[in-house]
């Protein structure tokens, strides 16, 4: 039991593996949205993401390795990442061509009226489209840190870099997202 009187993830998983369907469904209920979102961020397409998500939970329920103090969420996300990366044809971790931060800032709308930025953020479809336009590496760090709220150390460990490198990647990814938001939509000037 955790402080809230809820059954903790390790116990839920143990029970689910023992055939307790309610425990299994509770475990799924806690983590499904996060895994779905991350899988969709890192898999090549939504169908693959759905299959990967299913496989990750099935593996959790049929596995025998206990959580042993690890965060269930992080554990599931690591599994998701491994599965997703196997689906990508290109080599993982190829860095994007270096762009000076100033250029990223200008592309992100530095010097522009901030009102425009805010109104774009309110357009859900536009925000989703902007996220889709990012590289997988950029999208995953934003999903993990800014959408899922996974802490910095866990995020860095998950993506396999030092915390300082993760922070740098995150900052640049956010600027590229702001740029993608700025480019999207019918009012954008295509150059």
Partner 1 sequence: MQTERDVGGMRCFEVLARLDAFVAGELVGEELGRLRAHVASCPNCAAFGGAYAQTLKALRTLGPSAEEAAAAARLRVRLAR
Residues near partner 1 (CB under 8 A):
21, 24-25, 28-29, 32-33, 36-37, 40, 46, 49-50, 53-54, 57-58, 101-102, 105-106, 108-114, 117-118, 121-122, 124, 127-128, 142, 146-147, 149, 167, 170-171, 174, 177-178, 181
| 126, 170 Cβ separation under 8 angstroms | no
Give dist(CA 7, CA 26) in Å, integer. 10
| 143, 37 Cβ separation under 8 angstroms | yes
Q: For every residue of the chain, which 3-state class applies, written as one string?
A: CCCCCCCCHHHHHHHHHCCCHHHHHHHHHHHHHHHHHHHHHHCCCHHHHHHHHHHHHHHHHHCCCCCCCCCHHHHHHHHHHHHHHHHCCCCCCCCCCCCCHHHHHHHCCCCCCHHHHHHHHCCHHHHHHHHHHCCHHHHHHHHHHHHCCCCHHHHHHHHCCCHHHHHHHHHHHHHHHHHHHHHCCCCCCCC
**Shortest Cβ distance from residue 91 to partner 1 (Å)?**
28
**Shortest Cβ distance from residue 175 to partner 1 (Å)?**
8
| CB closer to partner 1, 92 vs 101 | 101
| CB closer to partner 1, 128 vs 162 | 128
| CB closer to partner 1, 112 vs 153 | 112
| CB closer to partner 1, 19 vs 69 | 19
| 161, 180 Cβ separation under 8 angstroms | no
**Shortest Cβ distance from residue 2 to partner 1 (Å)?**
23
| CB closer to partner 1, 92 vs 119 | 119
**Shortest Cβ distance from residue 143 to partner 1 (Å)?**
9
**Shortest Cβ distance from residue 114 to partner 1 (Å)?**
4
| CB closer to partner 1, 94 vs 115 | 115
**Shortest Cβ distance from residue 12 to partner 1 (Å)?**
13
């Amino acid at each position: 039991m955790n402080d809230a009187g809820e059954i903790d993830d390790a116990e839920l998983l143990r029970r689910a593996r023992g055939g307790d369907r309610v425990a299994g469904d509770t475990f799924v209920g806690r983590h499904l949205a996060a895994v779905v979102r991350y899988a969709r961020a890192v898999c090549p397409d939504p169908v693959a993401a759905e299959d990967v998500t299913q496989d990750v939970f099935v593996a959790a329920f049929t596995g025998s390795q206990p959580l042993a103090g690890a965060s269930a969420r992080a554990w599931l996300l690591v599994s998701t990442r491994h599965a997703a990366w196997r689906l990508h044809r290109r080599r993982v971790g190829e860095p994007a061509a270096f762009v000076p931060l100033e250029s990223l800032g200008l592309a992100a709308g530095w010097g522009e009226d901030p009102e425009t930025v805010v109104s774009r953020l309110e357009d859900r479809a536009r925000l989703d489209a902007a996220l889709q336009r990012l590289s997988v590496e950029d999208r995953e760090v934003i999903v993990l840190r800014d959408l899922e709220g996974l802490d910095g150390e866990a995020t860095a460990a998950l993506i396999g870099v030092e915390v300082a490198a993760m922070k740098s990647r995150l900052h640049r990814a956010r600027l590229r997202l702001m740029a993608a938001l700025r480019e999207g939509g019918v009012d954008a000037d295509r150059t």
